[in-house]
Amino acid sequence: MFHKHRSNFFWLAIIAIIAVGVGAAFTAANTFDAHAGNQLGYGTQVVSGAHVTSMHYGLSTDGTKVDSVTFVAAGDLTAGVPAEHGFVGFTVAGTPGTTVDCGPGSLAGGNTTFTCDTTSLAQAVATIQSTDIAVSN
């Protein structure tokens, strides 16, 4: 009987170690993988300064470049002094590129929305490896 409990404890410990390792690897990410299923996408990630719950890409009329990125962060990020600003850039060929300052977000429904004009980056969709987001004041 004692051997059975020790065996169960051993397997529970192994499962817990694996779960902690997988969880740590997932939360260590600070970018969105643009190649997960299609060139651009969104998900829930913890990024520098905020918990982003959704993202939307606005494309050029021909669909080849990213003209804007809108992302929603959980909570009120508008009350700080100075106000929190969103920043967006793209990683291409393994190198993070220039970021744009999205300005302060707007509060609605308990979440903060940042709308970022990325036309100055002239970033082709096909070359994006990841979208880099930060929120800072």
Q: Can you give the pLDDT of all 137 residues of the chain as single tens digits?
A: 555 555 566 666 566 566 554 444 443 444 444 433 344 544 444 466 678 888 899 999 998 999 999 999 889 988 887 888 899 998 888 888 899 999 999 999 999 999 999 999 999 999 988 888 888 87
* Full DSSP string of 70-103: EEEEES--SSSSSPPEEEEEEEETTEEEEEEEEE
How far, in Å, CA of 103 to CA of 135, rounded? 10
pLDDT at 50: 78
Does the reported pTM lie above 0.75? no
- CB of 106 closer than 8 Å to CB of 112: yes
What one-letter code names the amino acid at 96?
Answer: P
Nearest to 88 by CA among 127, 49, 39: 49
Q: Which helix (H) or strand (E) holds 54?
A: strand 50-59
Domain boundaries, the chain: 31-136
pLDDT at 9: 60
DSSP state of 48: B
